[in-house]
Structures are given as structure tokens and as C-alpha cells.
Structure 1
Amino acid sequence: MNAELDLLVRLGDYERPQEVASRAVHAEELGFDRLSMGETTGWNIVPALTLIADRTDTLGLSNDVISPFGRSPALIAQTALTLHDASDGRFRLGLGPSSPAITERWHGESFDRPLRRTREVIEIIRAVYENGNPAYEGEIFDIAGLGYERDIPENPPPIDLATLGPKATEMAGRFGDGWAPQLFTKDGLTERCEDLKRGAELGGKSPSELRVSPIVRGIAAEERERARNLARRTISFLLGAYGPYYGNSVAEQGYPDVVADIRGAWEDRDTDAMASRLPDELLDALAPAGTPEEVRTWVDDYAATEGVDAVRIGFVDGMTDEDKKTTMEAVAELV
């Protein structure tokens, strides 16, 4: 496989942050290039990432993703620079526009102009990177500025954006250093990469300078149908119940009727019906699910999509620890 291999873990699967670090050590032993994790309403990601940085030597670290509504821009820059130092330069910062539910019902902020806010946050982080000072005058932020107390590294953490739509992805290409999309078919990913390229050109950079690392959630198990049923339940939930954005994106990729059917089942909170309304065609287009050999073949094929630099493997709901090890070991054979 020419692309790199990343692992996405879910902090909610572990009892203590130290257990996440143990998973990272195993990932490094298997040859994964990078490990990432999300942050919503559970643990703060910084302690877990710091533990991982301390217990690994070569594994890259990322986060999927910090909300521009959840921390001030200067604090995000501080967080990135701290994790850069803790990991000896192995950290990449992940940002995304977030969602109304997390923004309003967890952080208590208004989900107002998320793309503009994300852009300004990036520009303020860049200001800290370049000048050690977040001084900035924008449409949303007006910061007088103070000096960062430590030396700025020569190569501060790159900034990856998690986006779905055309304008947001253009922004990722223009202002970011990488793109981490989720729930894209190969054809959908290829089409959206055109928006990324356009953004890169607007930002005066080559698309090859951007690290494209799509997230795919899957499971490898000898019990093929069990694996596919678990994946089907997770993907259908993401499409029908997990906010509007993933479902809208997949609908625009050519599956509006499927998404509408799944959302109809969610109106009755019928998760069994949601899963049954996800056809094999779409499951196979979005998720590696089946025997270890099938999953390995799927990931290798997806990684061959033009413009993809890494495939970020995540897990599905209901997996045992043995399932996770089997999945990791299956795809690690591609390294």
C-alpha cells in the first residue's frame, strides 16, 4: 500500500487514559503511522495524547477534531504547541467547524458562522506560530495580543481540517495543511478533492502539499456476517441520527433515497429498521467490513484513490477488544 495507515480510537471505549496509551503502543508495534482521537463531550484529549507521546517513539499523533467554539484560538495554539513539544514534533492539529448540538448544548455557544469562525481561528493560530502573538482583527475575533512565553518551534504543528461540503473543503485546501474527511465513497472523495485542489490553488500551494487522510470505520472478523451487521448499524446511525451533515453528504454522493429511508426509521427510533435500510452496495462503498482478507483488500483499494495520502481506520460500535486487535492486525499487513 502506497498510502500511510492511521488508527482512529474512541476515548469512550476505555476506562482510563492510560489504556489509550497502551493501544497506541500496540499500533506503533504493528507499524501504524499515526494515531488520532476525537473530542466531543467525553475526556479532554490532551492528557491522553500526552501519555501517548511519552510512551511511543515514532507514532504520529493527531486529533479529530477540536471545535473552534470549545476553546479560544490562543488556547488551541497553546495546546498544539504543547503537544508538539511533548511528542518531539509528531503532532498534527485537527480542527473542524463542529455541529450545532455540541456547540450549543455542550459549550453553550451560538452556532453562528462556523466556516468564518474556523477560518479566523486558523489565521490566529498561524499568527501565534509566526509571531508568538495572537493579535488579530477580524469579523468575529478582535484580539489585542500578548506574547507566547516560550520559543516557537521552527516547524509548528500542521493544521488538518475535517470538512464535508464543497465550500468548507475549499477552505481546507486554502488555509489548512491537510484534510480528514469522513463517510465518502471513492467516487465522492474524488469529486470533493476537486474543491480541495481549488482551495489549494487559491492559497498559493500545490495540492500535493496537503495530507489527505479520509476516515473509514470498519471491522475485520472471521464471523463475516456479524462484522457486517455491526458495521451496518454504525454506518446507518451516522447517516440517520448523528446530526444532518453526514447524511446530507452521502445523499449528495448519489444516495438520497437511502438516506431518507434511514432517517424515516430514526423518526421512530427504530435502529433495527435503520440498519436494514442500508443496502450492501452503500455499506461496501463506505466501510471495510467482513473477513480480515476482505477488509485488507477494501482498505488497499480505497488507499489507491487519487490524492489519498493516508487511510485513517476507525472502529464501529459493539466491537470486542479481540475484534479491534483482529482489525488492526489485518490492515497492518498492508504496511
Structure 2
Amino acid sequence: MSERDIVVPSGMDDIDDVAAMATHAEDHGYDRISLPEVTGRDGVTLLAILADRTDTIGLSNDVFSPWGRSPAILGQTGVTLQEASDGRYRMGLGASSPDLTEKWHLGEFDRPLRRLRETVELVKQVTSGERIDYDGEFFEGGGLSLRGVDPAEVPIDVAALGPKAVELAGRFADGWVPQLFTAEALEDRLDDFRRGAELSDRNPEDLRVAVTVRSCVLDDPERAREVARRQLAFMVGAYGPYYRQSIAEQGFEAATDSIREAWTEGDREAGVAAVTDEMVDRLVAVGTQETAEERLERYEAIDGVDAVRIGFFGEMTAEERRRTTEMLAP
């Protein structure tokens, strides 16, 4: 049976609210909770706090940028969080985006998949306790190893959308965390993930696939759909090119072009209006509890999916997130 995880939204009021969401999810049987890290709170500190305030729920992050921390620091972070959580941690890594890389980390967004691959390989060297010895295009050299802390197995999940990135996840990482896929498109992309695993002589069934499905269960289904429309418009219009391209390739090219055009011209309402009913029906899980459950179960039925991760929408209130968490609990 597929597991159910939960994803903390960005912009929570304070750290105690984040911790309360984690304990609430733990009390309702969720298997894992994942934290974002963009330009807000530091994810490592939050994970350390949650390791202390929870007992059984798994801990993850969405996602650390390969430009934000060195591979050695990421490895140290992994073994330390594994120690703090008694082995409940999985590290999330991704190729990030041009905006976040260049406008926040002040790096050059150059060959992101190559940098991600080298980061994954180096983190695994560090966490295993090996002496760093690496000859790559971005990283070269070594000579030191972990000291004063035991090595630990730190599974790495890669957030990826396109075929080459998903193949990379299957080839080098321990799991894949996709988002904003229709069930049909996810089934197709799983072929890329399996191919990557096979290139490394690994069994895809040993790797974890956990798809994020943004969800909202309200007494007013139309409000839930409107909340979803605004989030989808933002993701397509403003959140970087990769989500827009991925959604367009799933049969929504005309809609994504209209959304992007309206957003670029500053007409947010037109962008929201360009989100089609089909996009809402097939990319997210919103409306009544019955409707949302049907959507989630469609993903859970896909061969190769190990977990569905309940995500939220930016406009949802704390009470709406709490209700959705309870209504969609495993």
C-alpha cells in the first residue's frame, strides 16, 4: 500500500507552527513530512527542531540547491540530521532554477544536471565515511573524510521533471520526488526513472518515488478550485521555466502560453482565468473529500509510486490546511 507524506508550505508564521504541523501529521499517521527551503527559513535548522519535537515521522527537505552548500557540508548535514532523528532523514536535492541560483546564491546556472550529479556522488562519498577523492567537471580533489561523527546511510531524493533529470534520479539517487504531473504523464515519466536505475544495474523497486499532489478539501468546492487556479497560474507564469514546460508537454501548451503571456503583461487575473478546468481536474486534488481522495488514489494505483505527498496552496488558511490534513490522512 502506498504511503502518504505531507509537505510544509512556505511562509508559515513561525517555527512553532511548523512544528505543530509536523506533530499533527505524525498524530494522523502520515509517514513523512518535508520542508521547503527557498529564500525563507533555513531548512537544516528546522529539520533539527523537528527531529527533537517528533518521534516517528520521517523527515525530508524540498530541496537543497547544489549551489547553496558545498557537497561536504551537505554530507555533514546528512549524517548529523540522521543522528539527531534516529535515522528518519532523507535528503532532497534538485537542480534548482536560474532565478534562485543567480539572484539568491549568486552562482552561475551552468550545466545544472551535471552539477547535481556530482553533488549527489560527493555527498554519498562523504556520508559513507570515505576520504573525498573526486575528479569531476565542477569538483576536483579531496583528501579529508568525516571525523568525530559516525558515517550514516543518507538516502537522497532528487526533485526532477524532464526526462534527462528523471533518468539522473534513477541512476544516481535513491528516490524521485515529482510534482504537477497528471497521472498519465507520471506513468510515462516513470519509464525514464526505471531506465536510469537500470543503467546503474539497480532495481527500480528499491528506490522511492513520492509524488507531490497539491490538495485542498473544503466545504465549498468552488473556492477550493479557485485557490488551485491561482496557484497553478503562479507556477506557470512566475515560478521559472521548468514547471511551465513540463505542464505544457502534458497537453496544456495553449493554456500555459496564455497564462505566461498574461503574467508577463501584468494581468494576473487573466492569467488565472486561462487555467483550464482540465488542468485543475488532472494536476491537483481539490474539492470535496471524496473528489480529492479519488484523485490521490489514481496516483497511488500507479505501479512504481511508493508515496503520495499531500501539498498545499499558498492561499490556504491554517484551518484549511489542518482540515485537509485530517480529511486526507492515511
TM-score norm. by structure 2 comes to: 0.97
Q: Which amino acid aligns with 2:46?
A: A
Give the 5 Å matches for 1:194-205. Answer: 194-205=191-202
Query: Matches of 1:109 and 1:294 in 2, distance apart?
Result: 43
Where 1:218 maps in the other structure, the secondary structure is strand
CA contact (8 A) 2:128 2:153 kept: no
Over residues 131-156 of structure 1, what are the superposed CA-to-partner deviations in whole Å (9 max), with x where a residue is unaligned?
A: 34333121110132312113434x51
For the pair 1:129 / 2:146, whether they are aligned, the reply is: no
Alignment partner, residue 289 of structure 2: 292
Q: Compare 300-309 and 256-265 and name the one that shifted more.
A: 300-309
Query: Matches of 1:150 and 1:159 in 2, distance apart?
Result: 23
Over residues 137-185 of structure 1, what are the superposed CA-to-partner deviations in whole Å (9 max), with x where a residue is unaligned?
A: 21110132312113434x5110000001111110000001000011100
Query: Matches of 1:177 and 1:327 in 2, distance apart?
Result: 29
Percent of aligned pairs with the same amino acid: 49
Q: Which amino acid aligns with 1:303?
A: E
Deviation, structure 1 residue 12: 1.2
For the pair 1:210 / 2:210, whether they are aligned, the reply is: no
Query: Matches of 2:215 and 2:281 in 1, distance apart?
Result: 10
CA contact (8 A) 2:9 2:314 kept: no
For the pair 1:303 / 2:300, whether they are aligned, the reply is: yes
Q: Which amino acid aligns with 1:167?
A: K
Alignment partner, residue 222 of structure 1: 219
Deviation, structure 1 residue 121: 0.7
Query: Matches of 1:277 and 1:23 in 2, distance apart?
Result: 33
Alignment partner, residue 16 of structure 2: 18
Q: Which amino acid aligns with 1:18?
A: D
* Among 101, 116, 119, the residue aligned to 1:118: 116
Alignment partner, residue 164 of structure 1: 161
Q: Which amino acid aligns with 2:12?
A: D
Over residues 188-233 of structure 1, what are the superposed CA-to-partner deviations in whole Å (9 max), with x where a residue is unaligned?
A: 1011100000000001101101100011112110011111100110
Where 1:13 maps in the other structure, the secondary structure is coil
Alignment partner, residue 3 of structure 1: 2
Q: Which amino acid aligns with 2:309?
A: R
Query: Matches of 1:116 and 1:98 in 2, distance apart?
Result: 12
Unaligned residue ranges in structure 1 (runs of 5+)? none
Where 1:68 maps in the other structure, the secondary structure is coil
Where 1:229 maps in the other structure, the secondary structure is helix
TM-score norm. by structure 1 comes to: 0.96
Query: Matches of 1:275 and 1:215 in 2, distance apart?
Result: 21
Q: Which amino acid aligns with 1:81?
A: V
Q: Compare 115-124 and 5-14 and name the one that shifted more.
A: 5-14
Over residues 214-259 of structure 1, what are the superposed CA-to-partner deviations in whole Å (9 max), with x where a residue is unaligned?
A: 1111211001111110011001210122111001001111211111
Alignment partner, residue 148 of structure 1: 146
Alignment partner, residue 171 of structure 2: 174
Query: Matches of 2:73 and 2:131 in 1, distance apart?
Result: 12
Alignment partner, residue 31 of structure 1: 29
* Among 228, 234, 239, the residue aligned to 1:237: 234
Query: Matches of 1:10 and 1:4 in 2, distance apart?
Result: 20
Total equivalences in the alignment: 330
Query: Matches of 1:76 and 1:14 in 2, distance apart?
Result: 27
Deviation, structure 1 residue 302: 1.9
Deviation, structure 1 residue 115: 0.6
CA contact (8 A) 1:125 1:134 kept: no
* Among 58, 61, 67, the residue aligned to 2:59: 61
Unaligned residue ranges in structure 2 (runs of 5+)? none
Query: Matches of 2:128 and 2:47 in 1, distance apart?
Result: 24
Over residues 55-113 of structure 1, what are the superposed CA-to-partner deviations in whole Å (9 max), with x where a residue is unaligned?
A: 11110000010000110000011111111111000000000000110000001110011
Query: Matches of 1:224 and 1:9 in 2, distance apart?
Result: 22
Q: Which amino acid aligns with 1:299?
A: L
Regions of 4+ moved over 2 Å: 129-135, 150-153
Deviation, structure 1 residue 19: 2.1
